[in-house]
């Protein structure tokens, strides 16, 4: 694990001048992930906020090679790049320096439209890391629900109406889906826990094969909280066990952070306007159900960690 | 343009009609002829009646349509006779060669065939005896050459020997069996 | 020059060409009738006969996406597909062209659903005709093989840098064995040369950003450059076709004319039907009808002027389309050929200006200026460019 | 790469941006309504502001916070909020005071 002084000596992968919203966490995810690599990186990306805001022609915020082609194909696109690297290296057409291949996608490009492409890339065993920056909705197109949107959240396609109030379904557990791929490394973290993130990414880069990181990425626009609280939102997600920090190495679960005191999920929901309607008396049962779900999953995770 | 010979093969899915067409094309190519070999494609699976086709010519072949008026028909499976119209499109002087133990006269009577030159050979019987399995397509090649003079028999045999040697390097008995089967069928094919 | 005459199906011939090209990366997903191309090629990979990394993706969309990734990275990359597979790639076809990647595709023409049908028509290729891919049709296995070899040089030509698809007719060619001439590995490799990517993404010392977003300020200019590349492809196709002829014996151009010089009636078509058509022409001539045939080899870029010029003196023309544009105006070849020939024969002057791409504004004054300049050109007997652009930064 | 490309003929092939970090030429500082003021006397150089700044606007020199890149800082206030409570070396002040 590197400390901040060491990380500060690394080349900044992303410069200023990009058009992400003020207080956006996605650039933090990118910077922290890529600075954890001591070797050169080549980055691929799904269409989404990150890609759009960082590559407005002729302005690119990327200091490293960056390739975007479409929304649903970051897994496939980076697997092609990795195959090219293997082929050209084998033939002596390029040098044999190690390159770390990283794919970034939002929850839309990862949980939903890009799920098949991600699954294929992981199954084929490419030596690459896929990082999902999960902000829990299709923020780039104006906050529509995704399968990562939590139960109860208000989005533009899961609005609060007279008979239906917010998203009716639980979120998909993508991290678990990736564990089921039996790849060498799967982890979940947040950018607020930079030490945790750094340790996970450094480890991931040290091993061969496909790696997957699910990184919570608060969106102050879609979540509706004051923009300076971006990192606090991550901490609340971890401390309420809504978003536990853990890793799965070769199938072995390990919690990498246990809150000193598990906070009620209300603490995570309350500061966000997307959950505001849940605090009306008639909806309080939804919060109770969300809490039950968080508890159930937290208990299961703890059990998995003892296996 | 030189004479274009068109052949239709009838068989059942999995029985080797396509392979027979490919083998014949390959042998013809070995004699410097221009060739085509193609199966009929549909959703048929193992056992269904299928067809395959050949075109053989001294000149380059440009046609890319189906063969509807072959001058030669080869029937690999005797049980097809009567259930599939195997003589469809054959001209008056067309040739039909059938894998069956029956005589040409018996087949002609059973199918009420008028005109045509009918030939039969018990290719399955020969294959079982010489190769040990019912793979009628190689002996049928021998019979086909006997009744059509399409290719030089000695050269074809030589060509087959080379290919079989390559394919069955470790099974000399299969090579010998195949060659014997071709020769036997060449000798035993029955005309009217 | 070493030629070997062999018996090959269209799929085998394409797989043979891909083996000789020895691409750095091949990414593909199986689909009838193109499946065999990759099946055969996979055996070459398994036997170590090529240096290729084979990426057997989970869909055609991912196959094209992986191919794009590989080509962007700096690898010479190929794929093969048909029908629904090509349709699933459509989104990525446009992107491969927009990114100016000289990808090479072996495409086996098959009808599109519904109803599902595995046999040949050209509807699949036609669906991608405006995607910015060069499209070359093959009459037989020999042409499929020859065209794929030329495709590398055309796509990678420095004036072009566009993806290219070489098509064959499904089953009719793909699964039919024919005798063809195969050239030696060495000569094919000399002909295609080595691939030198312009700015490979793997070059981390010179980081580039690929696939950025354009707003109204740049999109039209990027598309204008793409259009120019397609226009430049015409010369490259002829140049490569001539060089191929001098090296391997058979020269290729935009089309093949058969007994056309004195023809009173000519058929125009794409693909394998041209061969059948030649036999029909011979038969008609025996019957005293002066028939001829024009086989269109290159559909994109569409050689409009050249085709119109070649058919100028033929009074009766019959266009055979193996696909329907479902536009109530006939097939695509018919529509495009008709447009090409209209210019010489019509009483009207019809010009075309491409405008407003990527949201670029069009103003009242611009329309006034355009129409008035057309009127005054006509009044003054001056010529006016038939095709042009309005509002792009020249 | 030229910032204002006039002709389509001058564009890099394939729409690529052929140099890294060209976004530095684009100033997002004018998005700001609050301005971070860094007090180097209070600063303990823990670099929390640097690791969390989404706009790469914390300028370091020899591992210490030197200044804030006001040409690109969008004024989100994460740096001030993440500065340890006992340190509070960054203060957000009204941008209007500087106009």
CA A172/CA A32 separation, integer angstroms: 25
Q: Which residue from D2, D20, D76 is facing A228, i.e. has the nearest CB? A: D76
The pLDDT of residue B171 is 83
Last residue of a domain, one of C216, C233, C248: C248
Looking at the fold, whether C289 and C370 belong to one and the same domain comes out as: yes
Question: How long, in residues, is chain C?
Answer: 394
Looking at the fold, whether C69 and C133 belong to one and the same domain comes out as: yes
Q: What is the pLDDT of residues A234-259, one digit of tens each?
A: 999 999 999 999 999 999 999 999 99
The pLDDT of residue B168 is 82
- The gap between the terminal CA atoms of chain A, to the nearest Å, is 26
The pLDDT of residue A275 is 98
| Mean per-residue pLDDT of chain A | 97
CA distances in angstroms from C363 to A25, C204, C367, listed in the order given? 41, 44, 7
The pLDDT of residue C343 is 82
Task: Give the number of other Cβ atoms within 10 Å of residue B133's Cβ.
Answer: 11
The pLDDT of residue A238 is 98
Q: What is the pLDDT of residues C38-54, one digit of tens each?
A: 999 999 999 999 999 99
Q: What is the pLDDT of residues C284-296, one digit of tens each?
A: 999 999 999 999 9
Four-point Cα dihedral A196, A197, A203, A207, nearest 10:
150
* Predicted confidence (pLDDT) at residue A217 exceeds the cutoff of 50: yes
The pLDDT of residue A204 is 98
Strands C77-81, C298-300: pairing is unpaired
Backbone angles phi, psi at C27, to 5 degrees: -125, 130
What is the share, in percent, of chain C residues with pLDDT greater than 90?
Answer: 98
Question: How long, in residues, is chain A?
Answer: 307
The confidence band for D99, taking pLDDT boundaries of 50, 70 and 90, is: confident
Looking at residues A19-42, what average pLDDT do you find?
98
Chain B from 11 to 30: CB within 8 A of any C CB: 21-22, 25-26, 29
* Predicted confidence (pLDDT) at residue C63 exceeds the cutoff of 90: yes
The pLDDT of residue A51 is 97
Q: What is the pLDDT of residues A87-125, one digit of tens each?
A: 999 999 999 999 999 999 999 999 999 999 999 999 999
* Predicted confidence (pLDDT) at residue C175 exceeds the cutoff of 50: yes
Q: Which residue from C161, C210, C221 is facing D11, i.e. has the nearest CB? A: C221
Q: Residue C79: exposed, middle, or buried by beta-carbon count in 10 A (0-12, 13-18, 19+)?
A: buried
C211 near A CB under 8 A: yes
Q: What is the pLDDT of residues A282-298, one digit of tens each?
A: 999 999 999 999 999 99
The CATH number given to whatever domain includes residue C233 is 3.40.50.970
Instruction: Choose the weakest-confidence range: B158-167, C57-66, C181-190.
Output: B158-167
Q: What is the pLDDT of residues A195-207, one digit of tens each?
A: 999 999 999 999 9
Q: Chain A residue closest to D83 (CA)?
A: A228
Q: Are the beta carbons of C29 and C62 closer than 8 angstroms?
A: yes
Judging contacts by C-beta atoms under 8 Å, the chain C residues touching residue D6 are 393
* Predicted confidence (pLDDT) at residue B130 exceeds the cutoff of 60: yes
Question: D77: closest CA among D26, D31, D44, D10?
Answer: D31
Interchain contact, D7 vs C394, CB within 8 Å = yes
Looking at the fold, whether C117 and C233 belong to one and the same domain comes out as: yes
CA A191/CA A36 separation, integer angstroms: 12
Q: Chain A residue closest to D27 (CA)?
A: A17
Domain A4-306 has CATH 3.20.20.390: no
Last residue of a domain, one of C231, C248, C265: C248
Q: Are the beta carbons of B150 and B5 closer than 8 angstroms?
A: yes
Looking at the fold, whether C304 and C223 belong to one and the same domain comes out as: no
Q: What is this structure's pTM?
A: 0.96
Chain D from 4 to 23: CB within 8 A of any C CB: 5-9, 11-20
The confidence band for B97, taking pLDDT boundaries of 50, 70 and 90, is: very high
Q: The domain containing residue C300 runs over which residues?
A: 255-390
Q: Which residue from C5, C6, C176 is facing B37, i.e. has the nearest CB? A: C176
* Predicted confidence (pLDDT) at residue B184 exceeds the cutoff of 80: yes
Specify the residue for token string 């001209």.
B91
DSSP strands (E only) in A51-140 = 66-68, 100-106, 129-134
Backbone angles phi, psi at C352, to 5 degrees: -135, 130
Looking at the fold, whether C78 and C219 belong to one and the same domain comes out as: yes
Looking at the fold, whether C91 and C122 belong to one and the same domain comes out as: yes
Looking at the fold, whether C284 and C263 belong to one and the same domain comes out as: yes
* Predicted confidence (pLDDT) at residue A13 exceeds the cutoff of 80: yes
D24 near C CB under 8 A: no
Chain A from 258 to 297: CB within 8 A of any C CB: none
* Predicted confidence (pLDDT) at residue C1 exceeds the cutoff of 70: no
C45 near A CB under 8 A: no
Interchain contact, B25 vs C176, CB within 8 Å = no
Do the two chains B and A touch, given a threshold of 8 Å on CB pairs and at least 3 pairs?
no
Looking at the fold, whether C269 and C366 belong to one and the same domain comes out as: yes
CA A13/CA A21 separation, integer angstroms: 18
* Predicted confidence (pLDDT) at residue C318 exceeds the cutoff of 50: yes
Q: What is the pLDDT of residues B59-72, one digit of tens each?
A: 999 999 999 999 99
Looking at the fold, whether C386 and C264 belong to one and the same domain comes out as: yes
Interchain contact, A17 vs D31, CB within 8 Å = no
The pLDDT of residue D62 is 93
| Number of structural domains found in chain C | 2
Do the two chains D and B touch, given a threshold of 8 Å on CB pairs and at least 3 pairs?
no
Q: Are the beta carbons of A66 and A55 closer than 8 angstroms?
A: yes
* Predicted confidence (pLDDT) at residue C221 exceeds the cutoff of 60: yes
Q: Are the beta carbons of D34 and D94 closer than 8 angstroms?
A: yes
| Angle formed at CA C26 by CA C21 and CA C31, multiple of 5 degrees | 115
- The gap between the terminal CA atoms of chain D, to the nearest Å, is 33
The pLDDT of residue B81 is 83
The contact set of C with B (CB < 8 A) is 5-7, 9, 33, 118-119, 139-140, 169, 171-173, 175-179, 272-276, 278-279, 282
CA C141/CA C9 separation, integer angstroms: 6
Domains of chain D: 39-99 (3.30.70.20)
Looking at the fold, whether C322 and C377 belong to one and the same domain comes out as: yes
CA A149/CA A137 separation, integer angstroms: 5
In angstroms, the separation between the Cα of residue D37 and the nearest Cα of chain A is 15
Q: Is C182 left (phi over 0), alpha (psi -120 to 50) or beta?
A: beta
* Predicted confidence (pLDDT) at residue A167 exceeds the cutoff of 70: yes
The pLDDT of residue B2 is 52
Which H helix or E strand runs over A185? strand A185-189
The pLDDT of residue B164 is 83
Last residue of a domain, one of C248, C267, C301: C248
Q: What is the pLDDT of residues B21-77, one digit of tens each?
A: 998 999 999 999 999 999 987 766 777 889 999 999 999 999 999 999 999 999 999
A62 near D CB under 8 A: yes
Judging contacts by C-beta atoms under 8 Å, the chain A residues touching residue C215 are 56-57
Domains of chain B: 5-188 (3.40.920.10)
| Mean per-residue pLDDT of chain C | 97
The pLDDT of residue D4 is 67
Q: Provide long-range contacts, Cβ within 8 A and 24+ apart, for A95-101.
A: A97/A39, A97/A40, A98/A39, A98/A40, A99/A39, A99/A40, A99/A41, A99/A42, A99/C202, A99/C204, A100/A37, A100/A39, A100/A40, A100/A41, A100/A42, A100/A129, A100/A205, A101/A41, A101/A42, A101/A44, A101/A126, A101/A127, A101/A128, A101/A129
Residues whose CB falls within 8 Å of the CB of residue A226, separated by 6 or more in sequence, listed in order: A220, A271
Q: What is the pLDDT of residues C320-354, one digit of tens each?
A: 999 999 999 999 999 999 999 998 788 899 999 99
A69 near D CB under 8 A: no
* Predicted confidence (pLDDT) at residue D28 exceeds the cutoff of 70: yes
The pLDDT of residue B1 is 37
Instruction: Choose the weakest-confidence range: B166-180, C200-214, D46-60.
Output: B166-180
Six-digit token string for C2: 């070493």
Looking at the fold, whether C125 and C234 belong to one and the same domain comes out as: yes
């Amino acid at each position: 694990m590197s400390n901040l002084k060491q990380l500060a000596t690394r080349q900044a992968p992303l410069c200023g001048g990009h058009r992400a919203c003020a207080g956006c966490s996605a650039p933090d995810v990118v910077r922290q992930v890529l600075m954890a690599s001591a070797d050169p990186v080549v980055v691929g990306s799904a269409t989404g906020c990150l890609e759009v805001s960082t590559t407005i022609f002729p302005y690119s915020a990327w200091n490293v090679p960056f390739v975007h082609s479409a929304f649903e194909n970051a897994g496939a696109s980076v697997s092609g790049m990795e195959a090219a690297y293997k082929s050209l290296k084998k033939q002596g057409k390029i040098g044999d320096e190690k390159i770390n291949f990283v794919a970034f996608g939002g929850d839309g490009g990862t949980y939903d439209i890009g799920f098949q492409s991600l699954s294929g890339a992981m199954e084929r065993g490419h030596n690459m890391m896929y990082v999902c920056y999960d902000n829990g909705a299709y923020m780039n197109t104006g906050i529509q629900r995704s399968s990562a949107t939590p139960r109860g959240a208000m989005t533009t396609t899961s609005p609060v109406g007279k008979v239906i109030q917010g998203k009716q379904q639980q979120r998909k557990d993508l991290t678990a889906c990736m564990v089921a791929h039996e790849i060498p490394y799967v982890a979940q973290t947040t950018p607020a826990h930079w030490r945790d993130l750094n340790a996970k990414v450094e480890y991931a880069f040290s091993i061969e094969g496909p790696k997957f990181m699910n990184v919570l990425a608060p969106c102050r626009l879609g979540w509706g909280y004051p923009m300076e609280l971006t990192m606090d939102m991550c901490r609340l997600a971890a401390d309420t066990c809504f978003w536990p920090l853990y890793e799965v190495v070769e199938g072995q679960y390990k919690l990498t952070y246990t809150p000193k005191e598990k906070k009620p999920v209300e603490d995570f929901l309350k500061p966000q306007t997307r959950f505001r309607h849940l605090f009306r008396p008639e909806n309080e049962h939804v919060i109770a159900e969300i809490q039950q779900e968080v508890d159930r999953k937290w208990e299961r995770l703890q059990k998995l960690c003892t296996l | 343009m030189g004479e274009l010979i068109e052949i239709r093969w009838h068989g059942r899915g999995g029985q080797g009609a396509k392979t027979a067409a490919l083998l014949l094309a390959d042998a013809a190519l070995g004699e410097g002829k221009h060739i085509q070999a193609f199966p009929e494609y549909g959703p048929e699976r193992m056992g269904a009646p299928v067809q395959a086709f050949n075109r053989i010519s001294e000149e380059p072949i440009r046609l890319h349509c189906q063969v509807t008026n072959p001058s030669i028909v080869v029937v690999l499976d005797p049980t097809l006779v009567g259930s599939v119209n195997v003589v469809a499109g054959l001209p008056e002087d067309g040739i039909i060669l059938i894998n069956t133990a029956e005589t040409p006269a018996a087949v002609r009577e059973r199918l009420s065939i008028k005109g045509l030159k009918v030939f039969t050979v018990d290719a399955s019987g020969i294959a079982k005896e010489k190769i040990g399995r019912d793979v009628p397509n190689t002996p049928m090649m021998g019979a086909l050459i006997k009744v059509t003079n399409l290719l030089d028999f000695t050269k074809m045999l030589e060509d087959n020997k080379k290919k079989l040697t390559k394919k069955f390097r470790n099974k000399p008995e299969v090579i010998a069996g195949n060659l014997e089967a071709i020769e036997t069928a060449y000798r035993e094919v029955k005309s009217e | 020059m070493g030629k070997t005459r062999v018996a090959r199906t269209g799929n085998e011939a394409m797989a043979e060409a891909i083996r000789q090209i020895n691409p750095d990366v091949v990414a593909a997903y199986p689909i009838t009738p193109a499946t065999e191309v990759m099946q055969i090629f996979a055996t070459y990979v398994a036997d170590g006969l090529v240096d290729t990394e084979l990426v057997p993706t989970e869909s055609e969309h991912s196959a094209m996406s992986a191919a794009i990734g590989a080509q962007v990275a700096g690898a010479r990359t190929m794929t093969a597909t048909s029908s629904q597979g090509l349709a699933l790639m459509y989104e990525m076809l446009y992107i491969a062209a927009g990114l100016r990647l000289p990808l090479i595709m072996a495409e086996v023409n098959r009808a599109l659903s519904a109803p599902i049908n595995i046999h040949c028509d050209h509807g699949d290729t036609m669906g991608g005709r405006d995607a910015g891919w060069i499209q070359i049709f093959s009459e037989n296995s020999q042409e499929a093989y020859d065209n794929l070899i030329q495709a590398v040089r055309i796509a990678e030509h420095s004036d072009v840098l566009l993806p290219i698809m070489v098509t064959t007719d499904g089953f009719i060619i793909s699964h039919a064995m024919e005798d063809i001439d195969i050239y030696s590995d060495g000569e094919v490799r000399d002909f295609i040369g080595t691939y030198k990517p312009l700015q490979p993404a793997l070059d981390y010392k010179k980081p580039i950003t690929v696939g950025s977003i354009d707003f109204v300020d740049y999109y039209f200019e990027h598309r204008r450059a793409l259009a120019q590349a397609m226009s430049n492809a015409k010369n490259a196709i002829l140049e490569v076709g001539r060089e191929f002829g001098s090296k391997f014996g058979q020269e290729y151009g935009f089309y093949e004319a058969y007994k056309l010089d004195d023809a009173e009636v000519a058929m125009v078509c794409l693909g394998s039907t041209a061969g059948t058509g030649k036999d029909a022409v011979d038969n008609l001539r025996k019957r005293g009808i002066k028939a001829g045939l024009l086989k269109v080899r290159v559909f994109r870029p569409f050689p409009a002027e050249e085709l119109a010029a070649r058919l100028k003196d033929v009074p009766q023309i019959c266009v055979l389309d193996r696909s329907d544009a479902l536009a109530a105006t006939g097939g695509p070849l018919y529509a495009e050929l008709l447009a090409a020939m209209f210019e010489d024969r019509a009483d009207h002057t019809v010009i075309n200006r491409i405008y407003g791409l990527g949201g670029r504004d069009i103003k009242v004054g611009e329309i006034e200026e355009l129409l008035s300049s057309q009127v005054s050109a006509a009044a003054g007997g001056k010529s006016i460019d038939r095709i042009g652009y309005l509002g792009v930064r020249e | 790469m030229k910032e204002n490309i006039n002709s389509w003929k001058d564009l890099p092939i394939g729409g690529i941006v052929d140099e890294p970090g060209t976004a530095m030429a684009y100033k997002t500082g004018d998005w700001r309504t609050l301005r971070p003021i860094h007090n180097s006397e209070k600063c303990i150089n823990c670099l929390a502001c640097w690791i969390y700044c989404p706009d790469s606007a914390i300028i370091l020199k020899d591992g210490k916070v030197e200044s804030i890149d006001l040409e690109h800082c969008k004024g989100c206030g994460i740096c001030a909020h993440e500065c340890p409570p006992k340190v509070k070396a960054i203060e957000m002040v009204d941008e209007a005071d500087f106009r």
